[in-house]
A and B are shown apart, each in its own frame.
Chain A
Amino acid sequence: GNSVTQMEGPVTLSEEAFLTINCTYTATGYPSLFWYVQYPGEGLQLLLKATKADDKGSNKGFEATYRKETTSFHLEKGSVQVSDSAVYFCALSDPSSASKIIFGSGTRLSIRP
């Protein structure tokens, strides 16, 4: 079946460090890929998305590239800030569904000043 696997947390980094959160997927068909972020006490927010192979999604300094050959969508940021502390979810749109999003288990990121 369709699924998403992302690196387990928690991840703790110092401010201005480089961030990578790994995400791989399994899907039949051609899903869209997403990264959602959940700040403390808030709902899931769409951070970025990519709809086809080799697309790069970007937002707020974060980037992820849809790699069909490696079935990956790793999240990167060159220089993290304390305000980036949150839980990050990799997800895909289920190609067999008009509405279902399939999520990874989430990675908690903590940034030290």
Chain B
Amino acid sequence: EPEVTQTPSHQVTQMGQEVILRCVPISNHLYFYWYRQILGQKVEFLVSFYNNEISEKSEIFDDQFSVERPDGSNFTLKIRSTKLEDSAMYFCASSKGSGSNYEQYFGPGTRLTVT
């Protein structure tokens, strides 16, 4: 069964460094998402992406964050100048369509630790 994959599974970085989290969505899906979960807190929506542009973003997704689909398979989340409070589990998801009739399929997550 097709699945969303994410790399790396765990990333440790120093404060102020840039990180890129990578995701390979399911191949025939058109909508892509990033969510994050700070330890002990709720899973939070960050951004959705369709047709090579951001379709929606949350207030968390500020200028420090960017997303890109650099080729036909990868979907990346870049965090510039990481802060301690960026430490979290980051989940990528994809879906065939938009709206609650289309299931979002989630990857296993990348645990980001900022020291």
Contact = CB atoms under 8 A, between A and B. Distances in A.
Contacts of A41: 108
A93 B98 CA distance: 11
A105 B42 contact: yes
Interface of B: 3-4, 6, 31, 33, 35, 40-45, 48, 55-56, 58, 91, 93, 98-101, 103-109
6 smallest beta-carbon distances between A and B, as pairs: A32-B100, A93-B100, A103-B43, A44-B106, A43-B106, A99-B48
Contacts of B99: 93, 98-99
A4 B41 CA distance: 12
Nearest to B99: A98
Given A93-B100, A98-B55, A43 B45 contact: no
A57 interface: no
Nearest to B108: A43
Given A43-B109, A99-B55, A106-B43, 10 more contacts: A32-B100, A42-B108, A43-B3, A43-B4, A51-B100, A99-B45, A101-B45, A103-B43, A103-B44, A105-B40
B103 A97 contact: no
Interface in A72-113: 89, 91, 93-94, 97-106
Contact of A98 (B42, B44, B98, B108): B98
Interface of A: 4, 31-32, 36, 41-46, 49, 51, 89, 91, 93-94, 97-106
B56 A45 contact: no
B100 A100 contact: no
A46 B103 contact: yes
Which of A89, A94, A103, A104 has the most CB atoms of chain B within a 10 A radius of its CB?
A103
A100 B4 CA distance: 18
A44 B97 CA distance: 18
